[in-house]
């Protein structure tokens, strides 16, 4: 991308190129100052920018180096105001300047010198196994940091933990500057700058580089459907007030604030350049786009088309709910979140038409590839997190919409049935078609009774501290679930069939609540059996159809094995299993379990 097309501040040698969109401004000047905080009465150097016919103002300003503070002074209708740069790569904080002439906030020029990146290749699309986390709350509770808000550097120290579970990608909740220091991140204040409570642009590069050195890809979460409702750099930016100004007029409302004016090419380009920044400047491996149903798809697809042309190897994911093939076939995304997989499996795990509910979400059709769907059977941040003291979406009275860790919804982590169902859920997530994703804490069944209600939040509410608890992660029950997650993920990595597009239902037994399916990739052939019922079948008394796969069959995983919290002999470890002439296999099948077999010959 040519320098003269880029928005923001871009150092070139001893000079710096500035470019900003302000079509209604009568004059735009860049104000420059040295120091850590902006001093309105301090020494300030001003430089005029020049207007182009398309409403962009730009200029090359001499003797501007990295670390220089700057603001735009915009004159509109004879009045002037000082604003942060909408494309600033760093800011002092999220505090506004438009309403406070004495604010110490400012944009910061960020250097463009080469970074010593570790060699890393973005995984192919079928090879993502994602761990979703929140920077500010993933460290600091019952670990040696002991602090209320974690930083990029703090979370780096947890990468070995994530890697030990068998994940190869992390997906942080949004890391752009948001209002105040504590937030889930879905209230953007400055889209191009990292959250100042988490660290600097240099810290974020180090975060990504360290992840890559550990073999972890990084998928950033971007929010382009709305801006923070009370604190964002775009609001009435150049003095124009209609509907919030040039970035919002005609954009409509969302449940979280006014939506951007996606119908304008300049707004599309703004978000394209923001997405491009994560790839070019931070070496991201993918992006997850928040709530794409609130953005006009015909405009969004234009941005995605440009990204696909420029970065064809990057994994572009939409939170498009409900999942619809249009977002892939015409919308130019690679994948979409599949919320139905979570909600239907949650209902199935309490006995609500379990087989039919599973049959409704197991396949990939009408999508072309398995990796077009991102499945999170145990719940994403939206399903587990609750910012309303446990009562989001009327959760105290509505179990089906309650925001909780899955183990808490099913009876709590000290309930053996609930733990078994969680083990089943993750193994199913790994074995079914789609890209698996786990939200932090599910891998150790982080839930009550450590707090009054078993949900995630980014800090303390009236029921206690809901951040990731490292004591819980390391207790006996947490370790059992972690072993299961690592084992199931290992089976996925060892068997390309689980990452392929192949999928066949071969056995449906509604009376006993059992179903089985096969996954195949050349000579790698797997049989997966799911028991959604209370009945234990011992002495190899359950006969399951093999779908034509020939034996012998070797058990690769049983979620009820003792090491995971089940009992000795629950599965078929070491057994010599071959199907009958009728193609049926006699197995031990424990209650509430997933078993995975590899077929021979």
CATH number at residue 15: 2.60.40.10
Q: Work out how many domains the chain is built from and give that number.
A: 3
Of the candidates 465, 498, 531, which is a domain's last residue? 498
Together in a domain, 144 and 97: no
Structural domain including 332 reads 127-498
Question: What pLDDT, on the 0 to 100 scale, is given for residue 449?
Answer: 57
Q: How far apart are CA 152 and CA 136, in angstroms?
A: 8
Q: Is residue 117 part of a domain?
A: no
Helix (H), strand (E), coil (C) string for 225-280: CCCCCCCCCCCCCCCCCHHHCCCCCCCCEECCEECCCCCCHHHHHHHHHHHHHHHH
Asked whether residue 275 falls in the same domain as residue 151, the answer is yes
516 and 576 co-located in one domain: yes
Which CATH number do you get for residue 415?
3.20.20.80
Same domain? For 136 and 86 the reply is: no
d(CA 332, CA 427) in angstroms, rounded, equals 30
pTM of the model: 0.97
Asked whether residue 166 falls in the same domain as residue 81, the answer is no
Cβ atoms of 125 and 369 closer than 8 Å: yes
Classify residue 580: in a domain, yes or no.
Answer: yes
Residue 462 within a domain: yes
Confirm whether 71 is domain-assigned: yes
Q: Tell whether 90 and 131 lie within a shared domain.
A: no
Report whether the peptide linkage leading into residue 542 is cis, meaning its omega lies within 30 degrees of zero.
no
Inside any domain, residue 386? yes
Q: Same structural domain for residues 159 and 78? A: no
Taking the chain (601 residues) in consecutive chunks of 10 residues, what is each chunk's mean pLDDT? Answer: 96 96 98 96 96 97 97 94 96 76 92 93 98 98 96 98 98 95 95 97 98 98 90 92 94 91 98 98 98 96 98 98 95 98 98 97 95 98 96 94 96 95 98 98 83 87 94 95 98 98 98 98 98 96 96 96 97 92 95 97 61
- Of 108, 141, 158, which residue is a domain's last? 108
Q: Based on the fold, state whether residues 178 and 56 are members of the same structural domain.
A: no
Cis peptide before 552 (omega within 30 of 0): yes
What was the pLDDT predicted at 250?
93
Q: Does 326 map to a domain?
A: yes
Which run of H or of E encompasses 71? Answer: strand 69-76
Residues 578 and 474 in one domain: no
Between CA 523 and CA 599 the distance in angstroms is 9
CATH value at residue 562: 2.60.40.1180
Do 420 and 388 fall within a single domain? yes
> Could you tell me if residue 38 is inside a domain?
yes
67 and 172 inside one domain = no
Distance CA 70, CA 67 (A): 9
Question: Would you say residue 544 lies in a domain?
Answer: yes
Whether residue 471 sits in one domain with residue 358 = yes
Number of H helices, E strands in the chain: 14, 30
| CA–CA separation, 361 and 505 (whole Å) | 12
Domain's final residue, options 449, 470, 498: 498
Strands 69-76, 27-33: pairing is antiparallel
Q: 382-391 pLDDT, tens per residue? A: 999 999 999 9
């Amino acid at each position: 991308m040519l320098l003269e097309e880029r928005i923001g501040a871009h150092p070139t040698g001893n000079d710096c190129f500035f470019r900003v969109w302000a079509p209604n401004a009568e004059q735009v000047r860049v104000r420059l100052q040295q120091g850590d905080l902006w001093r309105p009465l301090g020494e300030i150097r001003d430089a005029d920018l020049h207007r182009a016919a398309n409403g962009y103002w730009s200029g090359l300003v001499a003797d501007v180096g990295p670390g220089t503070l700057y603001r735009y002074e915009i004159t509109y209708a004879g009045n002037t105001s000082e604003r942060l740069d909408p494309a600033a790569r760093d800011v002092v904080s999220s505090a506004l300047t438009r309403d406070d002439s004495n604010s110490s906030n400012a944009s910061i020029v960020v250097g463009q010198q080469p970074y010593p990146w570790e060699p890393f290749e973005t995984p192919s699309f079928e090879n993502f196994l994602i761990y979703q986390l929140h920077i500010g709350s993933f460290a600091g509770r019952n670990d040696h940091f002991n602090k209320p808000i974690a930083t990029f550097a703090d979370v780096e120290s947890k990468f070995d933990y994530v890697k030990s579970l068998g994940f190869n990608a992390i997906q942080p909740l949004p890391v752009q500057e948001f209002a105040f220091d504590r937030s889930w991140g879905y209230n953007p204040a400055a889209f191009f700058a990292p959250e100042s409570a988490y660290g600097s642009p240099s810290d974020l590069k180090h975060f990504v580089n360290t992840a890559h050195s550990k073999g972890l890809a990084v998928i950033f979460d971007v929010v382009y459907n709305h801006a923070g409702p009370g604190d964002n750099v775009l609001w009435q930016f150049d003095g124009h007030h209609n509907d919030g100004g040039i970035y919002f007029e005609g954009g409509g409302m969302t449940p979280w604030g006014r939506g951007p004016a996606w119908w304008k090419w300049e707004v599309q380009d703004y978000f394209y350049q923001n997405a491009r920044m994560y790839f070019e400047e931070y070496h991201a491996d993918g992006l997850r786009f928040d709530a794409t149903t609130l953005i006009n798809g015909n405009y969004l697809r234009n941005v995605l088309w440009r990204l696909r042309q420029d970065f064809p190897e990057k994994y572009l994911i939409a939170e498009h709910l409900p999942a619809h093939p249009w977002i892939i076939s015409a919308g130019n995304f690679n994948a979409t979140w599949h919320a139905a997989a979570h909600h239907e499996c949650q209902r199935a795990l309490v006995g609500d038409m379990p087989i039919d509910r599973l049959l409704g979400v197991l396949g990939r059709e009408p999508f072309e590839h398995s990796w077009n769907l991102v499945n999170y059977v145990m719940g994403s941040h939206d399903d587990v997190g609750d910012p309303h003291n446990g009562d989001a979406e009327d959760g105290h009275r509505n179990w089906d919409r309650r925001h909780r860790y899955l183990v808490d919804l099913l009876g709590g982590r000290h309930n053996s049935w609930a733990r078994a169902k969680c083990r089943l859920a993750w193994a199913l997530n790994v074995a079914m078609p789609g890209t698996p994703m786990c939200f932090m804490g599910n891998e150790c069944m982080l839930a009550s009774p450590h707090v009054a209600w078993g949900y995630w939040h980014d800090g303390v509410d009236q029921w206690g501290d809901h951040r990731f608890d490292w004591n819980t992660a390391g207790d006996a029950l947490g370790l059992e679930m972690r072993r299961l997650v690592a084992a199931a993920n290992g089976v996925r990595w060892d068997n390309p069939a689980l990452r392929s597009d192949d999928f066949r239902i071969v056995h449906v037994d509604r009376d006993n609540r059992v179903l089985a399916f096969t996954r195949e990739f050349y000579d790698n052939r797997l049989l997966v059996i799911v028991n959604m019922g209370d009945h234990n079948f011992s002495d190899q008394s359950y006969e399951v159809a093999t779908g034509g796969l020939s034996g012998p069959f070797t058990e690769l995983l049983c979620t009820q094995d003792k090491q995971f919290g089940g009992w000795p002999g629950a599965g078929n470890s070491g057994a010599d299993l071959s199907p009958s002439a009728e193609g049926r296999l006699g197995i031990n099948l424990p209650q509430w379990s997933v078993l995975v077999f590899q077929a021979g010959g």
